[in-house]
Chains A and B, each alone.
Chain A
Amino acid sequence: MSTATGLRRLTPSSFLLFVAVLAVAASAAALIVVYRTGGGIISDQERAEALAERDLLEQVDVEQGLDTLAAGVTRRALFATAGQHFGLFDARGQALAGDLTTFNPEFRNADWKVVRVGVKPRYTVHVIGSTLNDGAVLVVGRSLSNLRRFERSIFYGFASAVAIVAVAGLAAGLVMNFLILQRVDAIANTAERIAGGDLSARSPVADGRDPFGRVGVSLNAMLERIEELLTGMRTVTDSLAHDLRSPLTRVMGALARAMHEGATEDERMDAVEVAHDEVERTLNTLSAMLDIARAETGLSREMMVRVDVAALVEELADFFTPVIEDAEQKLVIHAPSHPVIAHGHEPLLRQAVGNLLHNASQYAGEGTVVRVSVEENQDTVDIVVADTGGGVPEDQRGRVQERFVRLDPARSSGGSGLGLAIVAACAKLHGGVLRLEDNHPGLRAVLEIRRV
């Protein structure tokens, strides 16, 4: 809990500081480990070398006597590399050979003891000593300078590493900080512009793959949708006002005729019937509007169940057969004989397919063939209603899917102008699209729905 809230309270700059401290601490830990083990390894190796050398010299003494040993030590000291030291003293502490000339009682039987030798400069030397048969003392030493050099290089290495980590980390952090803040600022600016009423504002999107790009992309998608819905709503309100006014005006006219004093009973009945039909049509329009709205906002999704699309289409085609036949058209049904199962909103699908069939019967014309088919694809099912009539011009195919759009300029056919809008909304609810294509000749309407 507390770490979570602590983390949430962390600002980008304090986080940066935290990371820098962490980097330095990690380097220090690494240094200590290297220092300890590295120093140990060097010291052990030098000791082993010194031991071997002493043993060798001791052997000379045993086999060839002290004089030969003294000559050997002198030669050895002469060819010694930096840091190697030798000494041979008699029992009284008098120097016999080697570069170590001052006797130190600690030389006797020293095993890798740290001893100071010389006056100026004073060395600190690790020594191995041994007392020979006749009381003489042999000393092999290794200067601590190697170890000191190692320590120095470790320290310089560490210091430069920390400096690099600190400088580069700080720089990278600052740049990152700047980039992040800049992009967050851009998104925040967009949000502020929208809050201010400019719905056309969009967040700049350079690259959609990183998280900020994705935030920008989804923000823009959201805005796109909001704008689309608002525009849709405005269009609907405008069209609704327009489309309700005309039938209501006709109702008013019919009722005025019914109320006219000189009207006969039959004339009154006719007028009332006209009014009744108009009101009914208007109610249907309203109903359709609500269905579209629910389908488009996805509210109808919870009503979706397993539907056999093939059976549904066949049944509806059968239902529309008399209508198509009365329009002097021929209906061909082509659906698989096995069930085609999809996750669907049954009433809405019926409505949509019915609308496509109705449109064909209304607009394809006499002597045409209306072909209804169900085509199965991998993830989708296509419900196709194709006719051989006049078709819809390509540049109008998008427009006729909108609400209240009728290609018939006089709007005399009596339709609500919502038929294809319902089909399009239905396709959208089912994760598909409504495609209007050229049937060469005629119109081919494809209602695509996703199976799952």
Chain B
Amino acid sequence: MVEDDAEVADYVAKGLRETGYTVEHVPDGRDGLYLASSSSFDAIVMDRMLPGMDGLSVVKALRAASVETPILILSALGQLDERVVGLRAGGDDYLTKPFGFSELHARIENLVRRRAGRSVETVLRCADLEMDLLARKVFRAGKPLDLLPREFKLLEYFLRHKDRVVTRTMLLEQVWDYRFDPHTSIIDTHISRLRKKLDEGFERPLLHTLRGVGYRLSEQP
């Protein structure tokens, strides 16, 4: 983690350590570049405005040096433009300050796991739910589910992030490329429709709501 704000750094590092990560923290851009290019990490949390060397330059330098470690950029510059700039520089995800730890955690999990499994799959599964990506068909307990294209897209995202927490903003940004939802209820509407088709009439629900955090598709409640 490259972050010069000691309070944010402590808050994030403490949270990550509690969830089982090992965290190394440097407050300076140049030190961050050195550390990231000299040892191997699962993910990098990079602040944008840093002393020594700014975060975007560090990201660009790392990518230029073929360091492919997933990078989550943190920034207080939350405008539409800044996100695009951050991702163009080579960041994998962008999170605006202030943020909740659960949001950060979900995104880091996403980055780390995405890196782990990158095989080309044609069928995605969760318990008795099965998605055939080639035929674009979905079955639950062998019975076909009639999904609209947008519901298919949403479920595919959940299946690719099986057992992981997915936040509303992650869905907005990554499924619909929509920056923020000042009205907050759109995603809930989509989820409740998907859930109706997915879980209604089946004994065991698969799509779970985590209060104040987001959603998770999982066999376990």
Quote the shortest CB–CB distance from A113 to chain B (angstroms).
Answer: 96
Q: In this complex, what residue of B is CB-closest to A269?
A: B211
Q: Mark B157-200, 1 if CB is under 8 A from A, else 0.
A: 00000000000000000001111111111100110010000000
Is B22 among interface residues, defined by CB-CB distance under 8 A?
A: no
Residues of A within 8 A of B181 (CB): 354
| Contact, CB under 8 Å: B182 / A419 | yes
| Contact, CB under 8 Å: A284 / B180 | yes
Interface residues of A in 350-407 (CB under 8 A from B): 350-351, 354, 358
Interface residues of A: mostly helix, strand, loop or mixed? helix
Q: Would A303 and B81 be within 8 Å (CB), given that A322-B190, A322-B193 are in contact?
A: yes
Give A418 to B179 CA distance when docked, in angstroms. Answer: 15
Residues of A within 8 A of B83 (CB): 347
| Contact, CB under 8 Å: A291 / B79 | yes
Is B37 among interface residues, defined by CB-CB distance under 8 A?
A: no
Q: Which of B85, B96, B189 contacts A322 (CB 8 A)?
A: B189
| Contact, CB under 8 Å: A300 / B150 | no
Interface residues of A in 285-316 (CB under 8 A from B): 285-288, 290-291, 294, 299-300, 303, 315-316
Q: In this complex, what residue of B is CB-closest to A348?
A: B80
Residues of B within 8 A of A300 (CB): 80-81
Give A316 to B186 CA distance when docked, in angstroms. Answer: 12
Is B133 among interface residues, defined by CB-CB distance under 8 A?
A: no
Quote the shortest CB–CB distance from B152 to chain A (angstroms).
Answer: 12
| Contact, CB under 8 Å: A319 / B80 | no
| Contact, CB under 8 Å: A347 / B179 | yes
Is B144 among interface residues, defined by CB-CB distance under 8 A?
A: no
Is B98 among interface residues, defined by CB-CB distance under 8 A?
A: yes
| Contact, CB under 8 Å: B212 / A323 | no
Interface residues of A in 302-356 (CB under 8 A from B): 303, 315-316, 318-323, 326, 345-348, 350-351, 354
Interface residues of A in 382-439 (CB under 8 A from B): 415-416, 418-419
Q: Which of A287, A318, A321 contacts B96 (CB 8 A)?
A: A287
| Contact, CB under 8 Å: A319 / B176 | yes
Is A242 among interface residues, defined by CB-CB distance under 8 A?
A: no
| Contact, CB under 8 Å: A323 / B150 | no
| Contact, CB under 8 Å: A323 / B84 | no
| Contact, CB under 8 Å: B150 / A319 | yes
Is B78 among interface residues, defined by CB-CB distance under 8 A?
A: yes
| Contact, CB under 8 Å: B179 / A350 | yes
| Contact, CB under 8 Å: A347 / B80 | yes
Residues of A within 8 A of B180 (CB): 284, 287
Q: Would A294 and B178 be within 8 Å (CB), given that A318-B150, A322-B193 are in contact?
A: no
Q: In this complex, what residue of B is CB-closest to A320?
A: B186
Residues of B within 8 A of A321 (CB): 150
| Contact, CB under 8 Å: B182 / A294 | no
Q: Would A354 and B189 be within 8 Å (CB), given that A290-B78, A303-B81, A318-B150 are in contact?
A: no
Q: Which of A287, A319, A346, A358 contacts B78 (CB 8 A)?
A: A287
Quote the shortest CB–CB distance from B132 to chain A (angstroms).
Answer: 22
Q: Would A294 and B176 be within 8 Å (CB), given that A323-B185, A323-B189, A415-B182 are in contact?
A: no
Quote the shortest CB–CB distance from B8 to chain A (angstroms).
Answer: 15
| Contact, CB under 8 Å: A351 / B80 | yes
Interface residues of B in 123-156 (CB under 8 A from A): 149-150
| Contact, CB under 8 Å: B79 / A350 | no
Residues of B within 8 A of A225 (CB): none
Give A386 to B40 CA distance when docked, in angstroms. Answer: 55
Q: In this complex, what residue of A is CB-closest to B97?
A: A283
| Contact, CB under 8 Å: B212 / A273 | yes
| Contact, CB under 8 Å: B78 / A354 | no
Interface residues of B in 194-211 (CB under 8 A from A): 211
Q: Mark B66-77, 1 if CB is under 8 A from A, else 0.
A: 000000000000
| Contact, CB under 8 Å: B182 / A288 | yes
| Contact, CB under 8 Å: B81 / A323 | no
Give A109 to B83 CA distance when docked, in angstroms. Answer: 107
Is A148 among interface residues, defined by CB-CB distance under 8 A?
A: no
Give A212 to B84 CA distance when docked, in angstroms. Answer: 43
Residues of A within 8 A of B150 (CB): 318-319, 321
Give A346 to B190 CA distance when docked, in angstroms. Answer: 23
Q: Would A284 and B182 be within 8 Å (CB), given that A291-B80, A300-B81, A303-B81 are in contact?
A: yes
Is A281 among interface residues, defined by CB-CB distance under 8 A?
A: yes
Is A276 among interface residues, defined by CB-CB distance under 8 A?
A: yes
Q: In this complex, what residue of A is CB-closest to B191?
A: A322
Give A316 to B190 CA distance when docked, in angstroms. Answer: 13
Residues of A within 8 A of B96 (CB): 283, 287
A277, A294, A345, A354, most chain B CB atoms within 10 A: A354
Q: Would A294 and B79 be within 8 Å (CB), given that A287-B96, A350-B179 are in contact?
A: yes
| Contact, CB under 8 Å: B79 / A326 | no
A277-B184, A323-B189, A351-B80 known, 13 other contacts, Cβ within 8 Å: A280-B184, A294-B79, A300-B81, A303-B85, A318-B149, A319-B150, A322-B186, A322-B190, A347-B80, A347-B83, A347-B179, A348-B80, A354-B178
Q: What are some 29 contacts across the A-B interface (CB < 8 A)? A: A273-B212, A280-B184, A281-B182, A284-B180, A284-B182, A285-B182, A286-B78, A287-B79, A290-B79, A294-B80, A294-B81, A300-B80, A300-B81, A303-B85, A316-B178, A319-B150, A319-B176, A319-B178, A322-B190, A322-B193, A323-B186, A347-B80, A347-B81, A347-B177, A350-B177, A354-B181, A415-B182, A415-B183, A419-B182
5 nearest CB pairs, A to B: A347-B80, A322-B189, A284-B182, A290-B79, A287-B78
Give B contacts to A, CB under 8 Å: 78-81, 83-85, 96, 98, 149-150, 176-186, 189-190, 193, 211-212
Give A contacts to B, CB under 8 Å: 273, 276-277, 280-281, 283-288, 290-291, 294, 299-300, 303, 315-316, 318-323, 326, 345-348, 350-351, 354, 358, 415-416, 418-419
